[in-house]
Amino acid sequence: MAYEKITELFIGGERVGSSSGEIRNVLHPADGHLVAIFHEGSASDTVAAIDAARSAFDSGHWRSFSGEQRGKILEQVADILERDKARFAEAESADTAKRIIEANYDMDDIISVFRYFATRATLSHEREVTTGRENIRSTMVSEPVGVIAMITPWNYPLLQASWKIAPALAAGCTFVIKPSELTPSTTSMLMDVLSEAGVPAGVANLVLGSGAVAGGPLSTHPGVDMVSFTGSLATGKRLMVNAAETIKRVALELGGKNPNIIFADADLDAAIDNALTAVFLHSGQVCSAGARLLVERKIHNQVVTEIARRADQIRLGGSHDLDAETGALISAAHRDKVERYVADAISEGAVLRAGGKRPEGEKYANGFFYRPTVLDECTSEMSCVQDESFGPVVTVEVFDTEEEAIKLGNDTIFGLAGAVWTNDADKAQRVARQLRHGTIWINDYHPYVAQAEWGGFKQSGIGRELGEAGFAEYLEHKHIWQNQKPARSDWFKATEGHENV
């Protein structure tokens, strides 16, 4: 397929080429065919985008829009995405290699996020403060933070972008977004949707390229007020250091090592089925994946034997393979990382019960596929239990008591998500409330709604996305004190012999 168009950056309301003139090819991870070609941005391009966002914010034009006006624009964005859902889903599927059915589900979630924050934009964020003093009016007002730098990952490109863009626009912020260089298509397409919906020039800006080059100024430039990042722990730490120089606000979602706890009194058929979905959906490339399975000892053999049997039967394939149940990993480098992770786990003493290899066959030859893998007889001291593989790999540990399950579930530097499976409602609530993770599912795994906050404890991040708290990340709070009957304070008396001024 010959590509005549090379997609450009989006700065100041216009498509512009990169200053370097370099380009990047985006390849389909399942078979290696060319998906798109993009301009490769430089640091100077990113600075230009920041300047455009700064100018658009400081002009006051976007901030002067009422909440109702911004809400209508976000509703229009949702309507356009609904209209173009199939086109966006195809592009998302091609970049990420996720099945088209998953990409369509993602589009539904993305549309719901824009509709939710459209409603938040219209709500008043001012409140009167009771002071107990006469002639005083004390008011708390909320204002947009300013210019937001957004850095998004490759596993859910447009979904993660929507979690940042929708609340930022609802609040009246301007932004520069840099999607992963591996999956830029749908975020780039969204810029045209924002323009069509009525977002003024300069409010939304897009830079493309590597994090090391194009992403550099996003956390260091003094024109940026806040950095919102979803990605690896190591990169999040570097961004915090960079942002500290100018005391930028940071919002970080840095992944997790998420415990999925199955008690012996659970509905085992449902628990086992959902344990497979928890870890092998999108080939495990999910920050909240239930990659750490904790099973009560008395049901360990039964549960693990069945999970391993079913893992071996999972069908791999391309985006439009109707027989496929999951797809390829994002790149050759990432597959290599997952292979090393499994090899190291086995050397530590983990027992391979399923997978642990690349699939065989001509259909997989040009893609980055890896079999769903089950590692048994793991302990919390092993690196495979503590480190995130971000691939189709589940580690299995056993516990004997409720207290031990809680202790193991919290034995991680991360704290993003987890699940509890039991038919004892009181026990479910006890365990859920003692697990130090931002989302806990009881007898379920993976669902979320735009109205509920998402984020992690400990080294899974700082701040929240979605919900009221996710909106509040993009607001500054100002106290206005008005004395409606001004008078002298007489704190300092005039020096004797001198008249008062």
Torsion angle defined by CA atoms of residues 60, 65, 71 and 74, in that order, rounded to the nearest 10 degrees: -50
CA angle 221, 179, 71 (to 5 degrees): 85
Provide the token pair at 247.
């005391």
Number of helices (H), then strands (E), belonging to the chain: the values are 14, 20
By CB neighbour count within 10 A (0-12 exposed, 13-18 middle, 19+ buried), where does 25 fall?
exposed
CA angle 471, 140, 247 (to 5 degrees): 60
Closest C-alpha to 172, from 148, 197, 153: 148
Distance between CA atoms of 323 and 363, rounded to whole angstroms?
13
Distance between CA atoms of 70 and 32, rounded to whole angstroms?
41
Residue 191 contacts residue 179 (beta carbons within 8 Å): no
The DSSP secondary structure of 64-100, one letter per residue, reads: TS-HHHHHHHHHHHHHHHHHTHHHHHHHHHHHH---H
Calculate Rg over the CA atoms of the chain: 25
Q: State yes or no: is 253 an active-site residue.
A: yes
Provide the token pair at 421.
């499976």
C-alpha pair distances (Å), 57 with each of 45, 151, 202, 459: 19, 19, 8, 32
Q: State yes or no: is 173 an active-site residue.
A: no
Residue appearing with tokens 């005549």: 4
Torsion angle defined by CA atoms of residues 181, 182, 183 and 188, in that order, rounded to the nearest 10 degrees: 30
Residue 144 contacts residue 173 (beta carbons within 8 Å): yes
Give, to the nearest 10 degrees, the angle between helix 85-96 and helix 67-83: 70
Query: Looking at 75, 181, 287, 384, which residue is catalytic?
Result: 287
Residue 319 contacts residue 97 (beta carbons within 8 Å): yes
Query: Looking at 40, 75, 181, 253, which residue is catalytic?
Result: 253
Give catalytic residue positions.
Answer: 253, 287
